[in-house]
Every structure is written in C-alpha cells, then in structure tokens.
Amino acid sequence: MEEILDVTGWSALVLGLSALFAGIGALRKPGIWRTMIEEVERSPALQFLCGMLELLIGTAIYLLNPWIPSDVLTCVIKAMGAAMMLEGLVILGFCDIYTQFWLRSLAHLHRGWALTTTLAGLVLAVLGASHFH
C-alpha cells in the first residue's frame, strides 16, 4: 500500500522551518529567548502549558513517524520526538531547575544558540523537503 502522506518529510520540514525562523527571530532580537524563558520561569501556568504542548507534539511526532533503519531521517525525527517527550516531562516536573540551565547558557551563548538553531533548522527543512517522493 502506498503511503499517502510522508509524515517524516512533513515533520522534518515543519520542525526545520520552525527552528530556522525561531533562530532568525533570535538573531534579529537578541535577548528574546532569555525573556521568554524568564516569563516561563515566573508563571506556573506557562510552565504547564509549555510542558504539555511539547509532550503532546513530541508524542505525535514519535508515534506517527516510522522507524526505518535504512532511512536516517526517519530515525532522526523519531529520536527528536522522543527527546521532545522527555523535555516536556522535565519541564512539567523540574521547570525551576531546567530554566536555570537555559538562563545561564543564554547569558553567554545567545548568538551561538541562535546561529546553531538557524543552521539546524535549515538543514532539517532541506532534508524534509528532499524526503518527498
């Protein structure tokens, strides 16, 4: 049976474009990620919302993407879904500790994280787009 929707290609493309444009936004507005993390740190409602949203999106990505060892992109996307699920759980249970890690990291490496995110997003978007048959 022919697959109607290339879930892996779409997952990679959408995650890649999200990362690409988030990185561009962070480069355009230095300090914006730090501000967002500080807001999440202060708000239990945002902590819950962020944790649940990442858990749900990560679960969808993990469950919908196949594991095909001969297709590296399917394996990468499935692993990303699992990592998102784990991060969502960490945010739900240990947000105070987790946000401190990111606040310290962003204090000195903001531009580096933004460039890395932009580049990773570009690569993922290109791989996702090239995955369509």
Q: Is residue 48 part of a domain?
A: yes
Sequential DSSP letters for 35-49: HHHHHHHH-HHHHHH
Over residues 101-126, the mean pLDDT reads 89
- What is the C-alpha separation between 114 and 120, in angstroms, rounded? 10
Tokens of residue 96, six digits: 């105070």
Q: Is residue 119 part of a domain?
A: yes
- Burial-class residue 95 by CB neighbours within 10 Å (0-12, 13-18, 19+): buried
Question: Could you tell me the pTM of the whole model?
Answer: 0.88
Q: Is residue 1 part of a domain?
A: no
Q: Per residue in 54-96, pLDDT tens?
A: 999 999 999 999 999 999 999 999 999 999 999 999 999 999 8
Query: What's the one-letter identity of residue 109?
Result: L
Type and span of the H or E element at 22 = helix 7-28
Show the domain range for 29.
7-130
For residue 64, which of 16, 118, 4, 117 has the smallest C-alpha distance?
A: 4
Share of the chain above pLDDT 70, in %: 98
Count of structural domains within the chain: 1
Tokens of residue 79, six digits: 């692993």
Q: Is residue 32 part of a domain?
A: yes
